[in-house]
Amino acid sequence: MFKIIQQIILAFIVFTAYAQHPPVFSAMTTDSSFIKVANLNINLVKYSYKPNGIRFLVVHDNEDTGVKAGFDYIRWSGGELIDSQYGGARDYVFNYMDDPYRIDPNAIYTEKGVNTRLKKSAYSSNEVEKMILNAGKQIVDFYNPKETGYILTLHNNADGGFGISSYLPGYDLSSTADSVYINFQMDGDDLVYVTEPRLFTSFKKANVNVILQSKFVENDGSLSVYAMQEKIPYINVEVQHGHQNENLRLIELAVAALKEHGLIKNTMNTPNENLTNKPTQ
């Protein structure tokens, strides 16, 4: 009997570690939307606590530091976070008509972007393209930027593989950036990516690493490109995996920037955001 209990506990621990999702704290509520892409099941879970117009979106299921930092913010200041759950991986991986497909869920929001990504694959079909585009539409609809007035995403990266220097002249992502501001006291992997000059100015004044997306950026199907096309203010808070405290700090600055420019539509009953009295992280 004792061995059975041990096995149950071990299975629970393994499942929890694999799921990579923080526990729901008291008084938090959840809502969900289910997406199916061929044989891939995607669950969008909205975690809410004292909704106040602040809403985060996480599109990759292996970027859990952002989820944890978002939960930290919501716990003390209220808000909502939509988490994409599909097995703890980064990419969507599925099969259709016995053919394998793989696509980044941050590349599924424009027709041209999806078409370009699929053409790089050995397989491509109109049916698959429609399924992927529909998944992107469902994600956007569930987040509902018409209601929020903006899109605020949370992403994580690996140490040294991608960072603020990637956007400098001569580097891989230089063509996507209009302007780059670097605080050399910060870790280069911790940054903010925005689509509007006024937001860039706010983060520059706050002395944090920030990139302004170019108006001539390639249409790669990303959510930032979609947001620019639809004239929706967009902020991506991106930090290295494990930098949870820095993630929370940049989240707070992102919310402050949105409020500075009056971009949050619903600010009624917003809890006090003075975090000086919150428990130490």
Convert the pLDDT of each residue in 54-112 to its tens digit: 999 999 999 999 999 999 999 999 999 999 999 999 999 999 999 999 999 999 999 99
* Predicted structure pTM score: 0.87
Measured between alpha carbons, how far is 73 from 5 in angstroms, rounded to an integer? 36
The mean of the pLDDT values for the chain is: 88
At residue 37, the 3 state secondary structure works out as strand
- Reported as a single tens digit per residue, the pLDDT across 12-26 is 333 333 345 666 778
> 105 with 84: CB under 8 angstroms?
yes
- DSSP H helices, the chain, are 2-19, 64-77, 111-119, 126-143, 145-148, 197-205, 223-229, 244-260
